[in-house]
Structure 1
Amino acid sequence: MLIATPNYAANILRFPDQSVGSISICPEESAVYGEQGFDESGRNRWQVLGPAAGEVEIPEGFVVRLEISHVEANNLDWLSELPNSLISDIRTKNVSLGDDGFRRLTRFTGLRHLSVADGGISSEIASDLPRLSNLQYLSLRSNEQLSDDAMAAIAALPHLQSIGLDRTAVTDSGLETLSRSSSLQAIYAGSTQVTDSGIANLASLGNLRTLNLYAGDPEFRGDAPNPSISDVGLAHLKRFPNLEELDVTGAEITGSGLERLAVDCPKLRRLVVSHCALSTDDLRHIGLFKQLEQFQCYGTVLDDSVVKQFGTLTNLRQLGGDLQISNDGVRALSALPSLEELKLSGKCDDSCMASVAAMPSLRDLALEHTRITNEGFALLADNAKLEHVQITGNQVTTRCIETLATMPNLRRLGLMAVEPRADGEPIWKSLETLAPSLSELWLFGCPSLDKADFAKLAQFRDLKTLRIEGGRAITDEDVKHLKQLTKLDYLELTSTVITDEGLTELMKRPALRRLRINSLATEKGLEALARASSIRHVTIGSPNLTDEIVQRVHDRHPQMVTIRRTEILLRDSPVSRAKDNADKFWRMGTESERVKLNALEGETAPKLAVTDWLNRDQSLDLAELHGRVVLIEFWGTWCGPCRRQMPKVRGLHEKYAGRGLVIVGLHSTKAAEKANEYIAANDISWAIGLDDKKQTSTAYAVPHWPSFYLIDRNGVLRIANPSMNDLEAAVVALLDE
């Protein structure tokens, strides 16, 4: 059945002077709408033209996607000025259109795709839907007042192929009504009250290809509505022999249900069964799905016994889940000719790397906390297939860069919390050898990135995406090295002390469109950033910016599509300044999180409610310590970060005890029975007490473990939970008073 196609010609679209969103265009004959599914070719066909502000010229022969991201529901008069046949795709998110706003959208009779998420609409829209006779894809997700009453109007849309009803009030009865559709092929009804009966009610949709009844992880879903699907529901799927995609995350299904599903739906290409309480043994049936291309199962361990059943899955491209396989499991997966993505963790060591190197289609490899070393990784030298490598907290050190440099088609690299070189050389030694090939670089939690190493980034002339999260705080001088990155499109720097000067430097990047940064920027710096010729999306954190300032700047620069304020981070942790700017030290936590902590500062330190001191015979009272600086640490042996910080605490004790620093450790009541053993094994000499029934941690408003508090020589709590970056400097400042 043919759909009426408007005659597209060059047009001028007129929007308010202040941007209401963004405009993308695509040649009419190449436009792809709706959920991408297995065909991802449409993702890059739409080109962002710019913000939806003022007059926007649309070239002849192009169709338009309008993304409405910030506009008031009572300020939609401009919609009536737009040509009703030119726009083929409209998407809104977090815009409270209401039923009246939705009605205004239905004047665009040429729409093929309409997505209204969190729109505040109800089933009253049913009377307006018939105008959308060309619609192929409709998404009404997160509209909780939308009920079964609107389903008849949706089912009557003559060309509708896909309907999104996640987080609405649709029930089994609504699905029965939808089954009257003559064209519907995809239904997304996650986080609804649909049950097994709802699947049965879809019986007449013989051409159903996609069904998504996502229910989430039972541990975290709470009392929110979620589909209730069991083996009975899976059995009803035999009525849909052409089903290609199924997501029943959180369902109460068994291995028997999976076995039957493989017979009833032989064309399944994508299957998601995460958090379904399936046993590892149940998953052996996955090998029966002969056409499977994508399989995802989180919440159940996929071990060697499972993946050894995958030998018949010759089309499997993507495998996601809690993959805990050994070298034998890797060897089993190496027999899959189509596997493109592989994530290894835990048990794997060097002996599996020959199998990884032999995988004929592998493009994307992730190593997370494995036993693979540089020697094993070296077996991937000259691998021409790998395009993306990610290494996280692994025994492979940055010596692997020598191997990465031999991969001719490597385009994306992620290094997260990798270990330093064994020979003590800088962690980024030879990083510049990767510069000619990479278009995307992601560095996370790598504290050894010093100034000289940062300078090497200037050589990455073809880099389009750069993300540096955590680690040493980046300065204005550092960002000057990025001036050569003329192709940079997306930049993310989460740990910086960049000022307005640094922002001015960044805005000179000619291709930079998206910037996410934490900084010390003021309104002046944000204003300069908003005037940049290319930047359209900014997410920024600064102690000097407020929501009001950000909105004011945005109002003055309508060409900016989005400007959002976020909490400032240093070393990937949220931080705030002192409440009264009395000192220069950062505090842990966002401004909202620090309300109770800030109230403690400047007051006499709360007493210690300790009934049992673990490594001293006599009790300790803070009043006895007047005249000295006191550092209180709340910690526990069960707390990994506490154990990692112990060498730093020991260093402070050894370095400053002679100048008047006293350290007091307060162990949590949790795992208290292990504290004595740990104290003895680690030769801890400063006072350690047990927090009696959490009285002291409550008095100090402890937000997490470890937490540190500094008390001056007069017994006043001066700094509650300083940033670890500033802890030693704060100690010295109080000692010097």
Structure 2
Amino acid sequence: MFRRACLAVSLLASVACKDEPPPPPPSPSVEASPIPLPRTVSEDPTRVVVHHADELASIDLHEVEVLDLAMSPADQVGFLDRIDPATVCTRLDLVKLAAQTPALQELRISGCQGAVHAGLGAFGDRLRTLELADLVLDGVTIGNLARLGGLRSLTLTRIEASLDPMLPLKALPLQELVLRDLVRDSDVALMLDLWPKSLRRVVLDGEWASHKAMLTLARAEALEALELRNTRVGNFSLNQIKGLLRLRDITFEGDTFNDNSPQYFRELPVVRFSCSCRKLGDGGLRALRHSEAIRRLELRDTQVTGAGLESLEELAHLETLIMLDRDIGEEGFSHLAMLSKLEELELSGPIADPSMTGLGALTSLRFLRLAHPQLDDRAAPQLALLTRLEVLDLGGTAISDEGLSALAGLGSLRTLRLDHTRVTNRGLRHLEGLHSLEVLALQSTDVVDAGVTHLAGLQSLHTLRLDGTLITDASIDTLVELRGLQRLNLAHTVVSAEGVARLRELPELEVLELAGIRG
């Protein structure tokens, strides 16, 4: 998350900005400690976004690594009541900014064409990633871009092409190019031809892209990853990727792709395929079975059924399957059980069988996320069979205390997410033996102080979320015994500022969220 200019840092109940006096010391009733409380915000000071050039004066830019100058009208929505749109770019000096940001590696600029003309090239070889938005790619801008000798990734969003030649950009060591929301059949796509031997990843996003862009893309012989998102590219244009013999990672999104689309890369060494395609169904999986090297498959917004998963049995190397908004049922699980290397499974959407019959046969799973609102305690016997699980996410399901009893035998669990479930303090006793647990999410549950006491023995925990629960200062006694905690969220609980002060005793604590507490 980007840090806003002049970030408010809340220490207990006090708030201070960069230009304000420091917050008052803790209450005299709280014993002093050489270890200060960690910052109670999680924003990263190395990542900054500003909407007006004048905001830069209030920020310590020395440690900033990622900077977003979001100054075009498209980026001002929601901020017009705080800034003067007429002066947004007036005092933006990129030459000065380059000198003030020695750690900067990633920059985004929207609008401010004059400032880009005057100083973008001042960043020299330091920048690795750059996005330009709402600008004209004219000769002066191209000249500045050509001076960024260390640039590896370039994103152009809502950019207009000029008649100026782009050949000066050919010297850039570019490996990644993202073209998003351009003018229909924009000539900006011609730059795909500038780096045929260095481009590794290309993203074409928006209806502007069609067969014309694919003709140029066909010459990117070093390409390893391709994303086509909501373009006008269809199966006919996919013929252009057949010669990209290094292509390993493909993402399709949109209604132009269908069951025949996977046939166009069947001879390529594809190991990851992602498709958000409403016209892809079981026939598409039959075509996909020829891509035997696939290890990761992501299917979103498709028509694939549990029966159609039979085709995946031929993908002997499949390790990860993400299938969203589909109910695969017992038949689907029976087909997945044939995949001996399947370690990661993510499913979501309404289901007809809350007991998840057949899930327990997937004994090779290490990562499981089930975003099924109907899933309840009837699925517990199936979960209990997955003894190799290291990550289990049941957030948003109807699992309750009774269902947690099945988790007691999952001794390899490192991450457990039970947020927005029906779990209460009584169910947490089933977690007492999970000594490998490092991440536990219990936010927005009915957990109270009596439940937190069951966590005392989980000494491997480094991340704990209790926000939105009813815990009070009585839980602090347990929390201070979790000596390895690094991230703790107590926002919108009933703990007090005085109680939280005791968390100074935690030597590893880095991030503490306290929004909405008492006092």
Q: Name the TM-score, length of structure 2 as normaliser.
A: 0.70
Question: Take 2:253 and 2:184, find their aligned partners in 1: how far apart are those partners?
Answer: 18
Question: Take 1:494 and 1:548, find their aligned partners in 2: how far apart are those partners?
Answer: 15
Summarize the alignment of residues 394-409 of structure 1 with structure 2, pairs less than 5 Å apart: 394=326, 396-409=328-341
Query: In the alignment, which residue of structure 1 is the partner of 2:358?
Result: 430
Deviations 1:429-476 (A, max 9, x none): 2221112x11100111252x44342133223222121112444x2222
Deviations 1:162-218 (A, max 9, x none): 632336886553565342455335243456x65424632415426343344464xxx
The letter of the residue matching 2:502 is: R
Query: In the alignment, which residue of structure 1 is the partner of 2:119?
Result: 177
Question: Take 1:190 and 1:526, find their aligned partners in 2: how far apart are those partners?
Answer: 48
Change (3 A) 1:199 1:476: same
Change (3 A) 1:297 1:119: same
Summarize the alignment of residues 240-279 of structure 1 with structure 2, pairs less than 5 Å apart: 240-241=170-171, 242-252=173-183, 254-258=185-189, 260-266=190-196, 267-275=198-206, 277-279=208-210
Query: In the alignment, which residue of structure 2 is the partner of 1:596?
Result: none
Match of 1:463, SS state, is: coil
Match of 1:251, SS state, is: coil
Question: Take 1:314 and 1:528, find their aligned partners in 2: how far apart are those partners?
Answer: 55
Summarize the alignment of residues 283-322 of structure 1 with structure 2, pairs less than 5 Å apart: 283=214, 285-322=216-253
User: Are 2:458 and 1:509 aligned?
Assistant: no
- Unaligned 5+ runs, structure 2: 1-8, 26-33, 36-40, 72-87, 472-490
Change (3 A) 1:250 1:265: same
Change (3 A) 1:70 1:246: farther
Summarize the alignment of residues 501-540 of structure 1 with structure 2, pairs less than 5 Å apart: 501-506=426-431, 508-517=433-442, 518-523=444-449, 525-526=451-452, 529=455, 532-540=458-466
Question: Take 2:303 and 2:50, find their aligned partners in 1: how far apart are those partners?
Answer: 49
Q: Deviation of residue 270 (structure 1)?
A: 1.9
Contact kept? 2:437, 2:458, Cα under 8 Å: no
Question: Take 2:95 and 2:457, find their aligned partners in 1: how far apart are those partners?
Answer: 47
User: Are 2:38 and 1:94 aligned?
Assistant: no
Match of 2:166, SS state, is: helix
Question: Take 1:524 and 1:555, find their aligned partners in 2: how far apart are those partners?
Answer: 21
Query: In the alignment, which residue of structure 2 is the partner of 1:557?
Result: 503
Query: In the alignment, which residue of structure 2 is the partner of 1:489?
Result: 414
The number of residues matched between the two structures is 441
Instruction: Work out which of the residue numbers 264, 285, 289 in structure 2 matches 1:353.
Output: 285
Q: Deviation of residue 128 (structure 1)?
A: 8.1
Contact kept? 2:206, 2:230, Cα under 8 Å: yes
Instruction: Work out which of the residue numbers 327, 337, 345 in structure 1 matches 2:259.
Output: 327
Q: Name the TM-score, length of structure 1 as normaliser.
A: 0.51
Q: Deviation of residue 516 (structure 1)?
A: 2.5
Q: Deviation of residue 151 (structure 1)?
A: 3.3
Summarize the alignment of residues 550-629 of structure 1 with structure 2, pairs less than 5 Å apart: 550=495, 552=497, 554-558=500-504, 559=506, 560-562=509-511, 564=513
Contact kept? 2:271, 2:296, Cα under 8 Å: no
Query: In the alignment, which residue of structure 2 is the partner of 1:547?
Result: 492
The letter of the residue matching 1:534 is: S
Match of 1:385, SS state, is: coil
Deviations 1:204-251 (A, max 9, x none): 426343344464xxxxxxxxxxxx512339953642343222233233
Deviations 1:106-149 (A, max 9, x none): xxxxxxxxx243599955589985xx8xxxx8323479899643
Question: Take 2:183 and 2:272, find their aligned partners in 1: how far apart are those partners?
Answer: 30
Q: Deviation of residue 551 (structure 1)?
A: 6.3
Query: In the alignment, which residue of structure 2 is the partner of 1:362?
Result: 294
Change (3 A) 1:557 1:302: farther
The letter of the residue matching 1:404 is: L
Question: Take 1:463 and 1:233, find their aligned partners in 2: how far apart are those partners?
Answer: 57
Q: Deviation of residue 274 (structure 1)?
A: 1.8
Question: Take 1:392 and 1:368, find their aligned partners in 2: how far apart are those partners?
Answer: 5
Higher Cα Rg: structure 1 or 2? 1
Q: Deviation of residue 512 (structure 1)?
A: 2.1
Deviations 1:559-595 (A, max 9, x none): 354455899xxxxxxxxxxxxxxxxxxxxxxxxxxxx
User: Are 2:95 and 1:151 aligned?
Assistant: yes
Change (3 A) 1:304 1:455: same
Match of 2:180, SS state, is: coil
Q: Deviation of residue 406 (structure 1)?
A: 1.7
The letter of the residue matching 1:94 is: E
Instruction: Work out which of the residue numbers 143, 151, 162 in structure 2 matches 1:232.
Output: 162
Contact kept? 2:388, 2:412, Cα under 8 Å: yes
Q: Deviation of residue 371 (structure 1)?
A: 4.3
Summarize the alignment of residues 50-129 of structure 1 with structure 2, pairs less than 5 Å apart: 74=22, 94=43, 115-117=46-48, 123-124=56-57, 129=62
Summarize the alignment of residues 327-476 of structure 1 with structure 2, pairs less than 5 Å apart: 327-343=259-275, 345-368=277-300, 370-381=302-313, 383-394=315-326, 396-417=328-349, 420=352, 427-435=355-363, 437-445=364-372, 447=374, 449-471=375-397, 473-476=398-401
Question: Take 1:141 and 1:507, find their aligned partners in 2: how far apart are those partners?
Answer: 44
- Unaligned 5+ runs, structure 1: 1-68, 83-91, 98-114, 216-227, 568-737
Change (3 A) 1:427 1:127: closer
The letter of the residue matching 2:221 is: K
The letter of the residue matching 2:503 is: H
* Percent identity of equivalent pairs: 18
User: Are 2:399 and 1:477 aligned?
Assistant: no
Query: In the alignment, which residue of structure 2 is the partner of 1:701?
Result: none
Deviations 1:4-25 (A, max 9, x none): xxxxxxxxxxxxxxxxxxxxxx
Structure with greater contact order relative to length (CA < 8 Å, sep ≥ 6)? 2
Contact kept? 2:355, 2:380, Cα under 8 Å: no
